[in-house]
Amino acid sequence: MSARQPHELLLAAKQSVPAAPVDIAGVQLVPIEYAGRRVLTLSAMDKAHRRPDGTARRNFNEHRARLIAGDDFFELTQPDEIRTLGFSRPQGGTPASILLLTETGYSMLVKSFTDDLAWDVQRQLVRSYFAKPTPTTDPLASLPPEQRALVGLMFEQAAMKQQLDTQGAALTTVEQRVDDIAAGQVLLTRPSAAESIVHIRIRIGRLYGLPTRIVDEVIRQSPYALKPVMVKNAHEDAKGGSYACFWIKDVSAVFARFVAECQRVTATQVIHPYIDGRFKLSIPRDRPPPGTQSILI
């Protein structure tokens, strides 16, 4: 079973089914596309109009100054590009250059063809050749059943992933809004899962022996700074003031990471990229593992 991506299978299916020949007044022409447009070679123009070889070339050379490259015609000179379109010399090898007429370029050159056949051919070329038909067949029809099933499964998974990504983004937005609202509200009591900076200093000091100034800097000023939850201070002396609390799980995670990133320079002193100078870090042998919450006092 193929392990190629869906877009690769679609491309393979598309490339494996060449455009069907178009009947132009009894002449079968295989459509050629370049730069997203159907184009016509000078030899195909001669063939469709039953003109001697070189007739369209002479008309092109005569009126070239009036034609606009990239609009009325394309001139290909790169061998790889020419081979990709399937052009080759009768005696072998790749032509040095190829001229491709767009619909507007063809319409200008055909003005000199005034016979009855020319009118009929021009009408058919415009309607049947240059006008790209709307696809009516399944682009995967030529693939083996197992590849078709694989493509279907991949697209289902892609659609599911897109849906989950959208839902995840929406959930993140909601969570952010909840955090913003919580940050702007003052709670009447401290949540059981939150702790004040006083409790953080005591708990983290017991866990890691960090000085108070380091704890405060990590919580409030470092790149690890946490959003506080404001709680109303119930003491009479507070006069309606509030104090900051932080979620215990977030505090534990921040300091576990912070301590892991510290580099020891002496038996008791360490350094950290976000802290100026050395500071104390000592982990008691009998303390619980990092991340274990202690009972608040």
Q: What pLDDT band is residue 168 in, cutting at 50, 70 and 90? A: confident
Q: Residue 15 has what pLDDT?
A: 47
Q: Residue 86 has what pLDDT?
A: 85
Q: Does 236 lie in the same domain as 177?
A: yes
Q: Does 296 lie in the same domain as 184?
A: yes
Q: Does 181 lie in the same domain as 117?
A: no
| Final residue of a structural domain among 103, 130, 157 | 130
Torsion of CA 174, 177, 178, 179, to 10 degrees: 120
Is residue 53 included in any domain, yes or no? yes
DSSP secondary structure string for all residues of 137-201: S-TTTTS-HHHHHHHHHHHHHHHHHHHHHHHHHHHHHHHHHHHHHHHHSEESS--TTEEEHHHHH
Is residue 183 included in any domain, yes or no? yes
Q: What is the pLDDT of residues 242-272, one digit of tens each?
A: 888 999 999 999 999 999 999 999 988 999 9
Q: Does 94 lie in the same domain as 41?
A: yes
| Final residue of a structural domain among 77, 105, 130 | 130
Q: Does 115 lie in the same domain as 207?
A: no
Is residue 13 included in any domain, yes or no? no
Structurally, the chain folds into a number of domains equal to 2
User: Average pLDDT, stretch 68-84?
Assistant: 91
Q: Does 218 lie in the same domain as 126?
A: no
Q: Does 108 lie in the same domain as 224?
A: no
Q: What is the pLDDT of residues 134-163, one digit of tens each?
A: 665 666 667 788 877 887 788 788 778 878
Which domain covers residue 217, as residue numbers? 171-297
Is residue 157 included in any domain, yes or no? no
Q: Give phi and psi for 144, each to the nearest 5.
A: -60, 155
Is residue 25 included in any domain, yes or no? yes
Q: Does 123 lie in the same domain as 180?
A: no
- The 3-state DSSP class for residue 261 equals helix
Is residue 265 included in any domain, yes or no? yes
User: Average pLDDT, stretch 3-28?
Assistant: 65
Take residue 38 and report the two structure tokens written for it.
Answer: 């159907």
| Final residue of a structural domain among 130, 157, 180 | 130
Q: Residue 241 has what pLDDT?
A: 83
Q: Does 178 lie in the same domain as 109?
A: no
Is residue 136 included in any domain, yes or no? no
Q: Does 24 lie in the same domain as 116?
A: yes
Q: What is the pLDDT of residues 264-297, one digit of tens each?
A: 999 889 999 999 999 999 876 555 444 344 433 2
The share of the chain scoring above pLDDT 70, in percent, equals 81
Q: Does 175 lie in the same domain as 124?
A: no
Take residue 224 and report the two structure tokens written for it.
Answer: 């690890």
Is residue 58 included in any domain, yes or no? yes
DSSP secondary structure string for all residues of 189-223: S--TTEEEHHHHHHHHHHHH---HHHHHHHHHTST
Q: Does 104 lie in the same domain as 27?
A: yes
